[in-house]
């Protein structure tokens, strides 16, 4: 019997491989929840190209209002680059992140030896500022965006605020405190003296609340090099939006590629969004080759986060059961996808996780 009100979680497939990996993540999380007595009220919702074709908009009216009533949601990758150039075909990402003030994109990188990792001992988290910087965003935060004042000149505006920097820095310090108590601030204040300069100042300000966490600074180009040569040196990293976008893909490349790059977008509010780092991979969509790990692990992170925030022990149990199932599937080449040295399909991997969880439901490893 469950003593908590059901968690309300939205399920938004997104585009292309999103229609394969989001249902996989949903099925696995639902099975783990059921096995552990965690009540979840799942709310599938239309979004993306399918919503445009069927309902006339990539983000149908009422989407934000409905999401606002939920505890969290799973967002599949969005193939916005291929959308037709019509006003109804907006990229929902920036709006979703900003509407719910999901200012910290928490992206872990972890080695699973034997899966094509360049090192067997990487375990780091990059916390990417999610709502400022260069992201063109339909003015949800005034000022971000691109402008073309004349035919021959384009201006891309990068917005950094004290509040935005302080918020993401605090989130990163909290994560660092729960890990190895080391935070690396990545920036380029040697050139962007005002923008990166403000970001770094606010990281030090936030650090005053976390005297037990050691803080270091690394310039972004040097960090990109060090990440390749000695990633073990890093534990928790915080950086601005665009640097984080690029560096998290680089980090994914160290551990088998984008299929191994999960993420959870969080803020100060009570809602969080599970979102893998990768895009909609149209080149492999419909072929059964998409690695569902990143989406499943992002969903596991969401359940763990909700359980911690709401004080629901069954959520921690469901998360542990999912993790054990994921580890078991990854350990067997026949039940992992070709991008990580496997011979299996997306369905093989999903079924292997489901069947492990069914067998081990009462004794997660």
Q: If you search the block for the tokens 């160290």, which residue do you land on?
A: 254
Neighbours of 281 (CB within 10 A): 22
**Which residues between 321 and 340 bind ligand NAI (CB under 6 A)?**
339
| Three-class DSSP category at 350 | helix
- Restricted to residues 297-316, the positions that interact with ligand NAI (CB under 6 A) are none
Q: Are 121 and 254 in contact (CB under 8 A)?
A: no
Does 94 bind ligand NAI (CB under 6 A)? Our answer is no
Q: Closest approach of Cβ 231 to ligand COI, in Å?
A: 21
Q: Which two tokens stand for residue 184?
A: 């690396």
Single out the residue of 281, 328, 330, 357 in contact with ligand NAI (rule: CB under 6 A): 281
The entry of ligand COI, ligand NAI, none near residue 9 (CB within 5 to 8 angstroms by kind) is none
Residue from 258, 274, 302, 326 touching ligand NAI (CB under 6 A): that is 258
By a kind-dependent CB cut-off of 5 to 8 A, residue 284 interacts, out of ligand COI, ligand NAI, none, with: ligand NAI
Distance CA 37, CA 1 (A): 7
Residue 242: which H helix or E strand, with range?
helix 241-254
Among 41, 54, 64, 82, binds ligand NAI (CB under 6 A): 82
The two most distant CA atoms of the chain are separated, in Å, by 66
Six token digits for residue 37: 């007595």
Nearer to ligand NAI, 93 or 323 (CB): 93
Q: Which of 259, 262, 307, 325 binds ligand NAI (CB under 6 A)?
A: 259
Sheet with 72-75: list strands edge to edge.
Answer: 40-44, 7-12, 72-75, 272-274, 264-266, 104-110, 123-129, 236-239, 182-187, 214-219
Q: Which residue is nearest to ligand COI (CB)?
A: 93
User: 230: Cβ–Cβ under 8 A, 6 or more apart, which residues?
Assistant: none
294 binds ligand NAI (CB under 6 A): yes
CB 340 within 8 A of CB 289: no
Partner from ligand COI, ligand NAI, none contacting 259, C-beta within 5 to 8 A by type:
ligand NAI
In which residue are the tokens 């310039």 written? 219
Of the pair 79, 307, the CB lying nearest ligand COI is at 79
CB of 241 to ligand COI, least distance (A): 8
Nearer to ligand COI, 35 or 96 (CB): 96
Residue with smaller CB distance to ligand NAI, 242 or 361: 242
Minimum Å gap between C-beta 150 and ligand NAI is 27
**Residue among 79, 231, 244, 344 that touches ligand NAI (CB under 6 A):** 79
Residues in touch with ligand COI (CB under 6 A): 91, 93-94, 135, 245
Element (H, E) at 234: none
Q: Are 32 and 318 in contact (CB under 8 A)?
A: yes
Least CB distance to ligand NAI at residue 117 (A): 15
């Amino acid at each position: 019997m469950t003593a908590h009100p059901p968690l309300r979680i939205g399920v938004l497939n997104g585009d292309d491989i999103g229609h394969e990996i989001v249902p996989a993540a949903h099925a696995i999380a639902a099975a783990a929840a059921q096995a552990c007595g965690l009540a979840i009220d799942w709310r599938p919702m239309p979004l993306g190209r399918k919503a445009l074709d069927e309902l006339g908009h990539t983000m149908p009216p009422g989407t934000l209002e409905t999401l606002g009533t939920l505890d969290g949601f799973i967002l599949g990758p969005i193939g916005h680059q291929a959308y037709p150039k019509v006003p109804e075909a907006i990229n929902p990402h920036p709006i979703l992140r900003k509407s719910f003030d999901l200012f910290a994109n928490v992206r872990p990188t972890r080695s699973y030896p034997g899966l094509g990792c360049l090192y067997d001992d990487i375990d780091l988290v990059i916390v990417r500022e999610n709502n400022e910087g260069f992201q063109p965003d339909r003015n949800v935060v005034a000022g971000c965006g691109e402008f073309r004042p004349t035919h021959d000149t384009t201006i891309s505006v990068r917005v950094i605020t004290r509040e935005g920097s302080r918020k993401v820095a605090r989130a990163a310090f909290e994560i660092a405190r729960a890990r190895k108590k080391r935070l690396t601030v990545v920036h380029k204040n040697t050139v962007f003296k005002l923008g990166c300069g403000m970001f770094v100042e606010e990281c030090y300000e936030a650090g005053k609340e976390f005297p037990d966490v050691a803080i270091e600074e690394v310039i972004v180009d040097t960090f990109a090099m060090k990440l390749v040569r000695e990633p073990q040196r890093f534990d928790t990293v915080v950086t601005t939006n665009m640097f984080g976008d690029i560096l998290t893909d680089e980090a994914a490349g160290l551990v088998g590629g984008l299929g191994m790059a999960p993420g959870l977008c969080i803020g100060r509010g009570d809602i969080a969004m599970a979102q893998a780092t990768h895009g909609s991979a149209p080149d492999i969509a419909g072929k059964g080759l998409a690695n569902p790990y990143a989406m499943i692990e992002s969903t596991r992170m969401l359940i763990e986060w909700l359980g911690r925030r709401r004080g629901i022990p069954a959520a921690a149990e469901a998360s542990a059961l999912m993790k054990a199932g994921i580890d078991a599937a990854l350990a067997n080449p026949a039940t992992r996808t070709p991008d990580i040295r496997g011979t299996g399909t997306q369905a093989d991997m999903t079924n292997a996780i489901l069947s492990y969880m069914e067998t081990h439901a009462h004794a997660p490893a």
